[in-house]
Structure 1
Amino acid sequence: MTKLVKYKILNQLNYLKSIGFKYHENLELFSPDIKNYKLPNNIEELKNICEHCHLCELSKTRKNVLFAYGNRYSNIMLITDEPTNSEDELGLFYSGKTGDLLKNMIENVLKVQKEDLYLTSLVKCKSNSGINSSNVETCNDYLLKQIELVNPKLIVVLGDKTYSYLLNNSNDFSQVRGKELSFNGIKLIATYSATFLLRNPSFKKDAYYDMLKIKNIMENLI
């Protein structure tokens, strides 16, 4: 039995378990076979796997799987923490007030169209009460594979939660945002998420200056 067949069987068994089927023994969802499963080197195949994923509890409550939006050949990858309620409802990034604000930040400050960048999230499904480390760990291989396939020259991290989970770092976000950092050899810069800015508009000025730094880095990418 190949790893791919094992993965599909375990995925299906987990789905059956999520809708009420019982097993005589507990199913170990994160066995080495799953974690060592070789994800495809094709972005569309990876998207298909994500859209049929039932490996964590978020799959029980999501309405849509949001894999990514934009140009997969872009030099710039934006990463947020999770889809918003509007995005989950419509199945499309940049939906709702949060999406409108992020779009304005990109188009009015970076001076590019949102379609020219590549946007994804730590987890591909909306949570009801906020994501946790287990959700992020489940989706982490998908995200790392996305980063590998898109191969951006700059990663823009949106929000403190995204920063702390992606870099496994609990540093004070206010001290690291706006600074040029590195992730797996890729330039990285963090700023406030649009969700945070809607709730805390007084920080929009700081976010504006962060976006100007991002614009400067973008213009100097080779």
Structure 2
Amino acid sequence: MNDKDLELLKFYRDSGIDYVLEDKKQVQEEEKVVEQKYMLPSDWVVEAKKIADRCTSVEELKKAIESFNGCEVKAMATNTVFADGNSQAKIMLIGEAPGMNEDLRGIPFCGASGDLLDKMLAAIELDRTKVYISNTMFWRPPGNRRPTDLELEMCRPFVEKHIALVLPKILVLVGGTATYSLLDQTKSISRLRGQFHIYTNQYLDMEITTAVIFHPAYLLRQPMQKRLAWQDLKQIKEYINNNIAP
């Protein structure tokens, strides 16, 4: 007990106060922390959906994700990586999980991958003021490993609500993890790219046209695939020009 606590107790004694009612909100928060400590991973999946259900705005969802403690990797991450770009845009990109640069800066697609993504967007006359970018998972897995199925399942309600709140005209899934999680597809990007897919989820009352593209990190490792990536970008640009008002 420090000096301030002792002074406060002395004040209570001198004032004839025998006991102090604890702050109700503080007690509730402490009880919640204790309860969460003993929750199973499956309980956290249910809890994530309950939290996502209650969110009515992008900002509210962001705060909910930042305070969510179900994913153990959050404890090892530097930042929660939520989104970047224009949340009013009609073009939404969903990436995989944060890497080292994203974790340090708290922004999706930084570093070499981010630079290449920016160049890819510029090639079809887009930039981060005209698109909205988020991830399938919001914290960096140790060693940049692929997120586990449980981690993806835990984050999925947040991702689904995020898409529903933004309500883009076209969704672009960047990389295999995003495609696997949101389209429930185990096929490779090579087999899924070059065509449009239909996406919907529990929070949507409409279907969203969805494109699948190679992740920039993959293109940096396999530059010969940039030719196919350019074809995909041209297809996306054509859809935007024909379906989305400037």
Q: Normalised by the size of structure 2, how large is the TM-score?
A: 0.78
2:183 to 167, 174, 187: 167
CA shift for structure 1 position 13: 3.9
CA displacement 1:54-112 (0-9 Å, x = unmatched): 111111211100111111111110011111210111222342111100011001x2212
Partner of 1:52: 67
Partner of 1:43: 58
Partner of 1:146: 162
What is the one-letter code of the residue matched to 2:56? Answer: N
CA shift for structure 1 position 27: 2.4
Structure 1 pair 167/97, CA: closer, same or farther in 2 (3 Å)?
Answer: same
Overall identity of the aligned pairs, in %: 27
CA displacement 1:185-216 (0-9 Å, x = unmatched): 10001010011111111111111111110111
> Aligned ranges for residues 80-95 of structure 1 at < 5 Å?
80-95=95-110
What is the one-letter code of the residue matched to 1:200? Answer: Q
> Aligned ranges for residues 1-222 of structure 1 at < 5 Å?
12-13=33-34, 17=37, 26-31=38-43, 32=46, 35-37=49-51, 38-107=53-122, 109-128=123-142, 129-184=145-200, 185-222=207-244
What is the one-letter code of the residue matched to 1:28? Answer: L
**Unpaired segments ≥5 residues, structure 2:** 1-27, 201-206
Structure 1 pair 137/163, CA: closer, same or farther in 2 (3 Å)?
Answer: same
Partner of 2:204: none
Preserved CA contact (<8 Å) 1:178 1:210: yes
Q: Return the alpha-carbon distance in structure 2 between the equivalents of residues 94 and 115 of structure 1.
A: 14
CA shift for structure 1 position 166: 1.2
Question: Does 28-37 or 92-101 show the bigger shift?
Answer: 28-37
Structure with greater helix percent: 2
Q: Return the alpha-carbon distance in structure 2 between the equivalents of residues 148 and 213 of structure 1.
A: 24
**Unpaired segments ≥5 residues, structure 1:** 1-6, 18-25
- Structure with bigger gyration radius: 2
CA shift for structure 1 position 172: 3.4
CA shift for structure 1 position 33: 5.4
Structure 1 pair 28/79, CA: closer, same or farther in 2 (3 Å)?
Answer: same
Give the number of equivalent residue pairs.
207
Q: Normalised by the size of structure 1, how large is the TM-score?
A: 0.86
